[in-house]
Structure 1
């Protein structure tokens, strides 16, 4: 090495990451607020109705069973309810059904993006959120110009088997210093009430979680605590 001058934290100086088969974009997807606040991830319309009525303004419907008989009905009911309540509703994975129902946005993982018709999502006007695991995948996501970039997993999580190690708050802080306000950002993975304040202090725009709410002993009281720390991100516009 010729010198040690600290980390380069300017996005314009970062490598432009290209991977064969991974979509890139010249145009940005429809925007969403930089600060979307608390972002619960749930698996049913019933959970969406319950949490929205408690004050949640950003939420994701994540149903992994593609063969479920009422899959579209769950999506359709959730979309109609969230539109009435002015709530940002993202649908995980099922982007064609999300487009059909007229959702606010969709959320896709890195592997999902290799198979998805991202131009169809863009032309529909839906927002696109993308999951990343580390700096390399974050820079891949940047080339797609999505509506938001999810950064994770921050801590150990039991919600799913992860292919990578936890990023931790230090790395999250570095990524936030690189991305700044270029993209809306979401932190996800193992975030609980006892560690969420350290996550919010990085300046990340939103905090996503599953079991921190769905497995709480007192859901109503727990949601109130989360909203006080993360905020609700304000009302949305579906236009």
Structure 2
């Protein structure tokens, strides 16, 4: 009687792997366009705060749980809130880069699909950031939340008036959550392990972090999920 074995994973198809130099230039170009676009969206302070009040009121109308409930959990200990701030500051870009590099080396066909989806979501998010500037809940007095990065550290943002490296009024949609969710979906699609649903813990933890640190509203994550769902429907593997 033969023992049942798991099917061996296929070797990566080198013919599906795009040229490395071209991909590096493409990804770098997309990143520069995104950063430049974010810079164009700065300066709309009044509109960003008006939109923030509208989002906050809409969440209460929809009876979404208060972001403060998550933050209160983090504030039970200084170490926990600092860990959340560190996760927010350091995991977003490296995790996405590692995801794309692994796919490029091990699953080239999945890499092309994932890169296209991420590019589409990021481009759509940039348009929304320009059209709908939105102050995060840490800036909204009505939210009653603490800017945990500023109070406990580490923080990735300086004072909005002097911070020329990032657009702090680009809360919706949350690319922190959108990219994290795509990372989980991409790895679940590209691997065969029965434990691969555990990758969903990454976007779940990201969601709790971005809300608990008062960098995003619940609706920011919902908008990112909608954009990602649309991209996945249009861009097939």
Query: TM-score under structure 2 normalisation?
Result: 0.25
Larger CA Rg, structure 1 vs 2: 2
Higher helix share: 2
Question: Which is bigger in relative contact order (C-alpha 8 A, separation at least 6)?
Answer: 2
Say which structure is richer in strand.
1
